[in-house]
Amino acid sequence: MVPLLVVALIVLILFGFGFLADILWWVAALVLIIWLIGFFVRPGGTGGPRGRWYRW
């Protein structure tokens, strides 16, 4: 009985990790899209470093 519970617990943990990893891929893709939009769509003008929304 105990080995069955251990196997069931491992399956639940791995399923949860797989679901979380899938969500993290979507979050990473969303952040990349937002970063690219912010990189290419900058305010015009000669603002120098203040014209960008990031420091580097």
pLDDT digits (tens, 9 = 90+) for 1-17: 888 888 888 888 888 88
pTM equals 0.55
pLDDT tens digits, one per residue of 13-54: 888 888 888 888 899 999 989 888 877 776 555 555 555 555
Encoded tokens for 20: 């979380």
Give the pLDDT confidence score for residue 18 in this predicted structure: 82
Kindly tell me the burial class for residue 46, based on how many C-beta atoms sit within 10 Å of its own C-beta (0-12, 13-18, 19 or more). exposed
Give the pLDDT confidence score for residue 21 in this predicted structure: 84
How far is the C-alpha of 48 from the C-alpha of 41, rounded, in Å?
15
